[in-house]
Chains A and B, each alone.
Chain A
């Protein structure tokens, strides 16, 4: 790191244009600090990625932990679709554990909101899309026991059904997103 910095000091008239960091450096000492800052800028893309997305990785890990613990301790698959479906009876019946999980899912963000640590609610889709999308999703969830984290859960033990469901979901999502873009462009693709 230092040696590359020394090279830069030895050749102040580089062909490449000066960066903003370099422009701010006046004397030798500052230049040296500057060279260090530059070499930090050149760190690998992977570290960059992890830095920007550390929240996502941490949050995803918490979700995965919840999935695994729920499975280990209660034997349940963490699938909100199936749990909402169990409110309507069918295979699982009205399972109190489902209601408890769904309640926790609702209360968790509410607590964060109450202590001021939550982001404001996200911008949402045009409401007819929410209604039609909800109907389709409900139909599919009941027909094929499809659910996003149910599929993720299945992927942890390499279930082919989970792979099928997951790929079908991505295909369907791609199709309807294309339709949404088409409609947003006023019907001109």
Chain B
């Protein structure tokens, strides 16, 4: 049931991304560092998502546990520099490629070839991090199913 619901949310999000056009890689440059007129599409789309999500979550504030069972996923406790450095690296990559992973998946749904290149590189970057963090070894045991 959880999987089915996650699939439905994925569909909803993917359709929302496609309607808004937020998966377009050129939007970030047009918003942050425009060559000509500024295009506020990206900021407006993210703001709309934030306001909607906040409203729905605010109305349902007293739900302590997920309605379909299981536990609420929490942010991991990290050293303060990690979100900072991670965010910076994420942003550097985002600015260079124009895609973020969710947008690339949506673009992949439209069979954009660059999105596949990008997602493969993201996976490679993640593996690179895991190998470096693990003293040069890929931790296969970490891969386990929890459904």
Contacts and interface: CB of A to CB of B under 8 A. Distances in A.
Interface of A: 53, 55-78, 80-81, 84-85, 87-98, 100-113, 118-125, 127, 129-149, 151-157, 159, 161, 164-181
B33 A178 contact: yes
Interface in B105-126: 105-115, 117-126
Interface of A is mostly: helix
15 contacts: A59-B15, A59-B17, A62-B19, A64-B54, A76-B6, A80-B102, A101-B10, A108-B106, A124-B115, A129-B97, A137-B93, A138-B126, A161-B83, A168-B91, A171-B91
A122 B25 contact: yes
A67 B65 contact: no
A78 B13 contact: yes
Give the 5 A-B residue pairs with the shortest CB-CB distance, closest first.
A144-B86, A104-B10, A138-B125, A172-B91, A59-B20
B5 to A, nearest CB: 5
A73 B66 contact: yes
Interface string B2-21: 11111111111111111111
Contacts of A165: 83-84, 86-87, 90
Interface residues of B, number: 114
Given A74-B6, A77-B75, A176-B96, 7 more contacts: A56-B48, A61-B52, A71-B72, A81-B122, A121-B107, A131-B121, A134-B118
Given A62-B13, A101-B9, A125-B96, A74 B110 contact: no
B86 A141 contact: yes
Contacts of B101: 80-81, 84, 137, 141, 147
Nearest to A169: B91
Nearest to A140: B89
Contacts of B22: 56, 59-60, 63
Contact of B117 (A64, A94, A134, A145): A134
Contacts of B37: none
A187 B37 CA distance: 23
B37 to A, nearest CB: 13
A166 B90 CA distance: 10
Nearest to B120: A134
A97 B117 contact: no
A93 B143 contact: yes
Contacts of A69: 5, 9, 12, 56
A93 B109 contact: no
A108 B115 CA distance: 16
A113 B109 contact: yes
